[in-house]
């Protein structure tokens, strides 16, 4: 992967993005100062456990969070356009036209009373205009593009009449229908079996490169990140704690949380060996600790870790980490991570 390092200025720029969910009794900070950039033709993977803020980040970029119960601050720019300032028709044109999203479960994203063709034709005509016949022809072409067999017949199928893999391909076709500049993918292969999952990942990567889209891909699966990403941003408790080229981060993690995620996999584990787990549970986002949010679960914690959030440091070009002990993690061979044997 080339990481998109020489493709000009960023397509997407996110700076200090903060999201709070407001209830009658409490405020929950789901995102705390999230910043990253993405270039056209590049895939950035948001990686982390459930509840780390990955999906909230995507929904904030699309303005899909409930407005009456959400406070959003910070800056989001797509090709220089202020995304968080969009309202009304401008926001409708942005969704689907400039940015599109592939959801985790297509059965909940596709309306069951409309055929696959009706979903596609409506989106194409809304954003590109033209006749219904022309939109239908383009829709069939898109279904063929995502390798749905017998596309001319399947266009009139309802979502429940397709398999999970074909529904996800139809969702990808819908996302691509208006040639967006930015594609958001929220764990789009989690509900699929392993064989179909790899087919969809290869398809997404090929189409992303063919269309030159910037892609923000959410997953908790390290193998998926290794397969599709140019760069990864590891999230924990609403913050990005590590970021860098996918090969560098997965080969030599600099944050204890990233190291623990890598150790908590079945890859290279002996059949009779227990799989290491991360002790404890993710923190309560309504009552985060004053220091590093990972400190209560970290094998390397020191008193200084509990004083305040660790600052961002850059251990190598293109890499960022928020940890006071990152040098110790980097100095530890991957084989020792599973035992917690840090130098």
Average pLDDT over residues 320-343: 74
Neighbours of 280 (CB within 10 A): 10
Neighbours of 308 (CB within 10 A): 10
Q: What is the phi/psi pair of residue 79, to 5°?
A: 50, 40
Tokens of 341: 């044997």
Cβ within 8 Å of residue 241, ≥6 positions away:
234, 235, 255, 257, 258, 294, 321, 322, 323
pLDDT at 6 over 80: no
Q: How far apart are CA 32 and CA 235, in angstroms?
A: 11
Q: Taking the CA of residue 266 as centre, how many other CA atoms within 13 Å lie in the half-sphere pointing to its CB? A: 3
Q: What pLDDT score does 96 carry?
A: 87
- Over residues 211-264, the pLDDT tens digits come to 999 999 999 888 889 989 999 999 999 999 999 999 999 999 999 999 988 887
- Over residues 39-66, the pLDDT tens digits come to 999 999 999 988 899 999 999 999 999 9
Mode of pairing for the β-strands spanning 231-236 and 214-219: unpaired
Q: Is 118 helix (H, G, I), strand (E, B) or coil?
A: helix
pLDDT at 5 over 50: no
Q: Is 78 helix (H, G, I), strand (E, B) or coil?
A: strand
């Amino acid at each position: 992967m080339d990481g998109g390092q020489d493709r000009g200025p960023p397509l997407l720029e996110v700076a200090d993005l903060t999201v709070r969910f407001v209830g009658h009794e409490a405020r929950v900070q789901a995102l705390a100062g999230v910043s990253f950039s993405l270039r056209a033709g590049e895939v950035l993977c948001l990686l982390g456990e459930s509840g780390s803020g990955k999906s909230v980040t995507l929904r904030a970029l699309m303005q899909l969070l409930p407005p009456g119960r959400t406070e959003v601050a910070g800056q989001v720019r797509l090709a220089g356009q202020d995304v968080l300032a969009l309202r009304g028709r401008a926001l409708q044109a942005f969704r689907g036209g400039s940015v599109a999203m592939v959801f985790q479960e297509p059965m909940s994203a596709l309306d069951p009373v409309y055929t696959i063709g009706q979903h596609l034709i409506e989106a194409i005509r809304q954003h590109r205009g033209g006749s219904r016949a022309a939109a239908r022809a383009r829709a069939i072409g898109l279904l063929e593009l995502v390798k749905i067999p017998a596309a001319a017949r399947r266009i009139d199928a309802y979502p429940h009449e397709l398999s999970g893999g074909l529904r996800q391909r139809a969702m990808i076709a819908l996302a691509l229908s208006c040639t967006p500049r930015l594609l958001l993918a929220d764990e789009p292969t989690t509900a699929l079996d392993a064989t179909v999952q790899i087919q969809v990942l290869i398809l997404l990567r090929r189409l992303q490169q063919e269309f030159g889209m910037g892609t923000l891909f959410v997953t908790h699966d390290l193998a998926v990140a290794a397969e599709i990403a140019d760069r990864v941003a590891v999230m924990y408790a609403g913050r990005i704690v590590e970021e860098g080229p996918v090969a560098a981060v997965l080969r030599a993690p600099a944050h204890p949380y990233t190291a623990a995620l890598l150790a908590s996999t079945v890859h290279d584990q002996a059949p009779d060996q227990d799989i290491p787990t991360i002790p404890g549970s993710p923190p309560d986002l309504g009552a985060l600790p004053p220091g590093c949010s990972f400190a209560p679960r970290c094998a390397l914690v020191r008193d200084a870790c509990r004083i305040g959030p660790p600052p961002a440091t850059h251990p190598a070009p293109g890499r960022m980490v928020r940890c006071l002990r990152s040098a110790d993690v980097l100095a530890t061979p991957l084989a020792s991570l599973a035992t917690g044997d840090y130098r």
